[in-house]
Chain A
Amino acid sequence: MSRTLNRILLFTCLFFFYAAVAESAGVYLQIRKQAGEKIKIALPAAGTELNRKIVKTVSSDLEISGYASMVNQEFADDTYNTGKLNFTEWGRAGAEVLATIESVQSGENIAVDARLYIVAEGKNIFAKRYQGPSARPDGIARAISSDILKALTGEKGIANTRIAFVSNRTGVKKIYVMDYDGRNWRQITGDNCIELSPGWSPDGDNVVYTSYRSGYPDIYIQNLTSGARRRLASFAGLNAFGAFSPDGNSVALVLSKDGNPELYVMKTDGSSLRRLTKTKSVESSPGWSPDGKKIAFVSDRGGSPQIYVISASGGEFERMTLKGSYNTSPCWSPDGKWITFSSKINGRFQICLLDVKTKETINVSDGRFDDDDPSWAPNSRHIVFRRTKNYLSDLYIVDITDGKLVQITSDKFDEEFPAWSPK
């Protein structure tokens, strides 16, 4: 008996040891990442203007990822150009990893070679060729960023993700989709009516949103590639805050058809409508737990808006926020550990993290401005949110591990309702 058990244990240990070795061989950063340290990467800008553009985007992606700090990009440009990489020089400049990006343009296409070297060993750990239209260098840059991060950390990061949001830059609040760092805006409909509250399908192909197209607030689902859309919910009264379940089969939403704003779940084909709440209070802003079993939402049943959680099949509410008089906009982290929300603290709206297990909260905002509407990146590390300064709203992303902030929209209009794509 015990001998068999020992054998099983031994086998299990060996298996895990092997798995750990296999994992770390290609994943240079794994151990350092756990220690919270950043890897120092040199990525020299060189070559044509187009190549420099790609390098700039990749550098920015690596920096924002939180895993890298970029070193002295101008240094040793000549060694890079000649193709003779002087690792001693790069080491002296503080680089631990050297990345090179070189491109050859032919007609309307571009071929780009990306390589990674461990400076201390002069060892090449990654090399890949990318091809695409030279009119869209960002597409190639994002792919390179994702692959470099994957090679260094084991995770592809957020370089290829997008953010859906609302802007009033045309004078009407419309839904746009942009790259996660605020570039390449695309308006998703040509309508001239108010659109609000976008959310993503788990495959990242569809956006669900509220539009006043019929004159009334209805919920639509739209495919981002084809542009095809359909109306999911157009009951009498309010139809709003559509949120896809993690399996993509259901949508949580708020309807007032029964005489009060209440939380419902329906299938994405419009069938099987189920009511989850029956209150005389306001319910809003549902967001699913990553396992699809629970829904976080806002209710003012206690006299002020607070964050509650309910089973996706209905039942009792569980109150999650225990302090503050105005807690709204819950969003569950993809790793399940946190619910981020906005809370009014000392007269300012601030982004907070709620530990789902302990219900303890941590402030992310510093309280200098009004921050709200948080949404998680798929890495459970970054959050996009709206910051309002002097009654003008822009979007920011924050790395919750070190509080590093990047402003991603900056104009004289309002950007709001940010929703980070799930992949």
Chain B
Amino acid sequence: MKKANSVVTCLVLGIFAVTCFGCAGRKKSSRDDMLAAERDAALSFEDIALSELPDMSRFKEPSPALKGIFKDIYFQYDSSVIQEEHRNTLEKIASWMKSHPRTSILVEGHCDERGSNEYNLALGEQRALSVRRYLVTLGVSSNRMHTLSYGEEKPAVSGHNEEAWKFNRRASFLLAE
């Protein structure tokens, strides 16, 4: 619980930081770094190493019944911060994972089409890792969770507007028994 609280604090700080960057605009390159340093200090951010990857073919789409649990998690533009509205979904996933200890998941991270393809490939990975990290704080073992980024290469919805983009900035789930 304490862990979860600190995660919430961090997320709030993160959102606060992002909001600040958003409104203040250009002047503050050095302040950006300062804020980032503060954010770094606020979060105790440790490596959570990824474990050996299972063969890709073992991962399947969740069954129709499980689709209701393993819902896509959506992100803000250029952000990998878990939004408050998705915490409930992640809590349900975590409790399902805890009652199904033999299942492992592959979290796929995606971006919308805007911006650098390369940067988006790394951002997609960070979104998947951010979901994984959140589930770790909810008590799911890290070695059951793998990540895969497609960057902007596999949009869920085609279209060149926010209606499409908001569904493409996502993390989705595959399961392996």
Contact = CB atoms under 8 A, between A and B. Distances in A.
A303 B17 contact: yes
Given A254-B122, A323-B26, A285 B116 contact: yes
Interface string B136-167: 00000000001111110100000010000000
B36 interface: yes
B149 A258 contact: no
A288 to B, nearest CB: 16
A237 interface: yes
A305 to B, nearest CB: 5
Contacts of A373: 116-118
Contacts of B125: 237-238, 256, 261, 282
Contacts of A237: 50, 125, 129, 146-148
A324 interface: yes
A197 interface: yes
Interface string A167-209: 0000001000000000000000000001011000000000000
Contacts of B151: 196
A416 B116 CA distance: 10
Interface in B116-138: 116-119, 121-123, 125-126, 129, 132-133
B56 A240 contact: no
Nearest to B153: A194
A236 interface: yes
B158 to A, nearest CB: 10
Given A214-B56, A236-B51, A258-B47, A302 B160 contact: no
Nearest to A260: B129
A261 B118 CA distance: 12
Contact of A256 (B50, B55, B118): B50
Closest 9 CB pairs of A and B: A215-B56, A302-B32, A236-B50, A328-B116, A284-B122, A259-B48, A303-B21, A238-B125, A280-B45
Interface of B: 17-18, 20-21, 25-26, 29, 32-33, 35-36, 39-40, 43, 45-53, 55-57, 78, 80, 113, 115-119, 121-123, 125-126, 129, 132-133, 146-151, 153, 160
Interface of A: 173, 194, 196-197, 210, 214-217, 235-238, 240-241, 254, 256-261, 278-285, 298, 300-306, 319, 321-326, 328-329, 342, 344, 349, 372-373, 391, 416-417
27 contacts: A196-B117, A196-B118, A235-B50, A236-B49, A236-B51, A236-B147, A237-B50, A238-B125, A256-B50, A259-B47, A280-B40, A281-B126, A282-B123, A283-B122, A300-B78, A300-B123, A303-B17, A303-B20, A306-B32, A319-B29, A325-B25, A325-B26, A326-B78, A328-B115, A349-B115, A373-B117, A416-B117
